[in-house]
Structure 1
Amino acid sequence: MTKQQIWEWFANHSKQILDFLLFLALVSMGAFVKILKQVRQGAKASWKWFLAEAIVSFFVALLVYGFFDQFMQTSTLFTYVVCAWCGSFSTIFHKRMEDLLGAIFDKLKQLISEKKSL
């Protein structure tokens, strides 16, 4: 590719590139807020932990983006802000999911125990 072709590609896709950069910036800020909050609560910060928290935040933000953008068709900026907010609270979603799965498995264990005792 020549320089001219690269510049044309950027010119043709400038809106998508700016949207992606805005999404990245807002979700990064949400992940940063989440990480700061956890460090203040006593979490031990390491690169592995930081990377894991960032990945989970971005994953949750992408799920929220898909829902708000594709199904609810809200404005782009509002969608990105909700993505950042949900990404920063991804630990809460994770804990609630663990609670839900734990309850399901406990109920299955109880049902199996009841079937065996009959």
Structure 2
Amino acid sequence: MTKQQIMEWITIHSKQILDFFLFLIIVIMGAIVKIIKQVKQGVKASWKWFLAEAIVSVFVALLVYGFFDQFLHFNKLFTYMVCAWCGSFSTIFHKRMEDLLGAFFDKLKQLINEKTNP
């Protein structure tokens, strides 16, 4: 690709590029709020922990974005704010998901024990 082709591609897709960076900035701000809250609660911060929290926040925000923007067709800025809010509370979602999976596997274990030990 030449420089000219790259500039044309950027010009053609400038709105999508701007939307992506706006989404990323807002979600990162939500993740930072979450991290600050957890540090105030006494969690020891490390790079691994920070990276894990950021990845989970972005993942939850992408799920929320897909639902609010692509399915419900809400305003972009509103969707980004909900993404940041949900990304900052992704620990709640993480705990609930752990509870759901734990309950599922406990029930599965119980069913297997009932089948093997009549």
Scaled by the length of structure 1, what TM-score is found? Answer: 0.91
Correspondence 1:30 to 2:45: no
1:88 is matched with which residue?
88
**Ranges in structure 1 where 5+ consecutive residues have no aligned partner:** none
Distance 1:113 1:79, change over 3 A: same
1:76: Cα distance to partner? Answer: 0.6
1:6: Cα distance to partner? Answer: 3.7
Scaled by the length of structure 2, what TM-score is found? Answer: 0.91
Inter-partner Cα distance in structure 2 for 1:66 and 1:40: 31
**Ranges in structure 2 where 5+ consecutive residues have no aligned partner:** none
Inter-partner Cα distance in structure 2 for 1:62 and 1:91: 15
Tell me the SS of whatever aligns to 1:45: coil
Report the residue type matching 1:33 in the other structure. V
* Count of residues in correspondence between the two structures: 117
